[in-house]
Amino acid sequence: MSENQSQHALSSLWSARPYHRKWLLAQADGLFDFFQGSAINPKGGFYDLSRDGKPLSTENPARGIHASARMVHCYAIGHLLGRPGSAEIVDHGMRYLWERHRDETNGGYFWQANDTGAADDSKQGYGHAFVLLAASSAKCIGHPLADAMLADITEVIEEKFWEEEHGAIAEEFSRDWQPVPGYRGQNSNMHLTESLMAAFEATGEQHYLTKAERIADLIINRRAREEAFRVAEHFDENWVVDRNYYHSNEMFRPAGTTPGHALEWARLILQLWVLGGKKHEWMPEAARGLFFQSMALGWDKDKGGFFYTLNWANTPEKRAKLWWPLCEGAAAAHFLNQHQESDFHEESYRKIWNFIANNNLDRDFGGWFEELTEEGKPSNSLFPGKGDIYHALQACLIPLFPAEGSLTRMIAQHPLDV
């Protein structure tokens, strides 16, 4: 392809068009605005918000560790972009993670905390993955607690969660580190892969990247490949797929397969491929396969949007349309377009953003509808309000930067051009 042909092809992508880029930045600003003014709990941590941006509860609510850590990560991104007020939110969240979620006696971090201490004292891999992300992002802006937290969470993951024989982490322990047996999950390991890459980028320490590559090899190159690039969610302790697994918490452990996680992995695999020097040839193929299967099996061809879960016969099980698979689909399509540009990837990118623009943006109160019915009507069967900025913010910002690393690193290295 000649230079002129390449420039023409690039200009055909929405992510290269000035108007689209300004539109994405405006959506990101709206999300920052929605959460910045209302989410801060003066007693520490952050409120979950209702549709109209008010706290769902002010009477000593339990704060989930993933929500605290995600706010730190997102407002560290805001600070790197130059958004006023972001550093104070990062500080607010970091102190709550360090002073309330951290178990000073036994080590590790509680799943939920409140005004006085632990509300749920379990130690879960999912939550610890996000503490690593928060610490890594806070380090990128020089927060004074970042190095101590990064050292602490790295030690906990290495000594308590990491299972060298498998190349992945265990799922859950009690307060005093008694293992909760019988289960291993891909979701916690997927988010740890994201966080390990962020830690590698923040510190330059190779051991983080090595662990990320081992997790990806287990869950995607082996297990997902065996399932025709459908991502199995649930496993036994030997990482054998458990097709009959059921848990009442369908927010974090839905049965069957989730197209959204395959989309998320498609982006993460390509990021890992780049950070690792593009030496793992299986990664681009896997990213392409994950994305294709999610669009082919998970996209509602009649009404649009992604079904939340599929059963093992590839038919929709939980038919609600959640916001986060759309977010991950848009981000994955951008990464694929940057590394494997195709009409299919660009058409998918536009299809996803068209659905978001027409269905998920709350033009009355701001923020995004996090859950829609199968017919596209706002609903709250799984998510009570608007409790999360993380997925939507990243979806808006990732297409504005090169698809070469975490947002924190890309923002630091590449001036924003809109």
Which residues are catalytic, by number?
261, 391
Q: Which of 1, 14, 6 is nearest to 347 (CA)?
A: 14
CA distance 223 to 225: 5
- One-character DSSP codes across 52-116: TSSBS--SS--EEHHHHHHHHHHHHHHHHHT-TTHHHHHHHHHHHIIIIIB-TTT-SB-SEE-SS
CA 325 to chain centre: 10
CA distance 129 to 139: 16
Write out the E strands in 116-230.
Answer: 118-120, 123-124, 162-163, 168-169, 172-173, 184-185
Q: Which of 296, 299, 314, 169 is nearest to 256 (CA)?
A: 314
Q: Read off the DSSP letter of residue 377.
A: -
Helix (H) or strand (E) holding 343: helix 343-359
CA distance 252 to 122: 15
CA distance 218 to 169: 11
CA distance 143 to 151: 14
Helix (H) or strand (E) holding 322: strand 321-322
- One-character DSSP codes across 132-147: HHHHHHHHHTT-TTHH
Q: Read off the DSSP letter of residue 386.
A: B
Going from the C-alpha of 74 to that of each of 51, 59, 137, 190, 401, the distances in angstroms are 20, 25, 8, 18, 16
